[in-house]
Amino acid sequence: MMRTVLLFLFTFTCCISSYSQEYKCEDGKVKFISKAPLNSFDGNSAYLHGLIDLDKNLIDFYIDLNTLKTGIALRDSHMREDYLETEEYPYAEFTGEIKNLNRVSASELKEGLTVTAIGEFKIHGISKKRSITGELKLNANGNLILNTEFPVLLKDHNIEKPSLLGYQIADKQTVKINATLIRQ
Partner 1 sequence: MQHLFGNNYSTILTVLLLFLVSISHAQLKRERVVQDQEVELTFDAPRLINLYTTEPLNKNDLHWSIMHTFGELNNGIQNLWGIDNGANIRLSFEYAPSNKFSITAARSSLDKVYDLGIRNHYLIQKKDNSMPVSVSSMFSVAVNTNNYKFLDNEAPAFNERLSFVGQLMISRKFTKKLSMQLSPMYAYFVDNRAIYLTKSKDQHHPALAYSIKYTAFGKYSFTAQSIIDLDSPENSNVGFGIDIETGGHVFQLYVVSAANLNDSYLLADEVDRPFQSLRFGFNVNRIFTLGKSKK
Quickly list H helices, the chain. Answer: 2-19, 73-78, 106-111
In 3D space, the residue among 109, 63, 118 whose CA is nearest the CA of residue 86 turns out to be 63
What is the contact mask toward partner 1 in residues 164 to 183, using x (rule: CB under 8 A)? Answer: xxxx----------------
> Which of 9, 14, 36, 153 is in the footprint of partner 1 by CB under 8 A?
9
* Of 162, 158, 182, the residue nearest 170 (C-alpha): 162
Q: What's the distance, CA 168 to chain centroid?
A: 26
**Site map 114..143 versus partner 1, x via CB under 8 A:** ------------------------------
Give the residues across from 9 on adjacent strands: none
Beta bridge partners of 144: 138, 181
How many chain residues bind partner 1 (CB under 8 A)?
45
**Minimal distance in Å, beta carbon 11 to partner 1?**
11
CA–CA distance, 37 with 182 (Å, rounded to integer) = 40
Which residues does residue 119 pair with via DSSP β-bridges, in sequence order? 96, 130
Is the C-alpha dihedral spanning 15, 17, 115, 51 positive or negative? positive
Question: According to CB under 8 A, which one of 35, 78, 99, 130 is a site residue for partner 1?
Answer: 78
Closer residue to partner 1 in complex, CB, 17/100: 17
CB-wise, 49 or 137, nearer to partner 1? 49
| Residue ranges in contact with partner 1 by CB under 8 A | 2, 5-6, 8-9, 12-13, 16, 24, 44, 47, 49-51, 53, 56, 58, 60-62, 64, 66-67, 69-74, 77-78, 80-82, 87, 90-91, 93, 95, 162-167
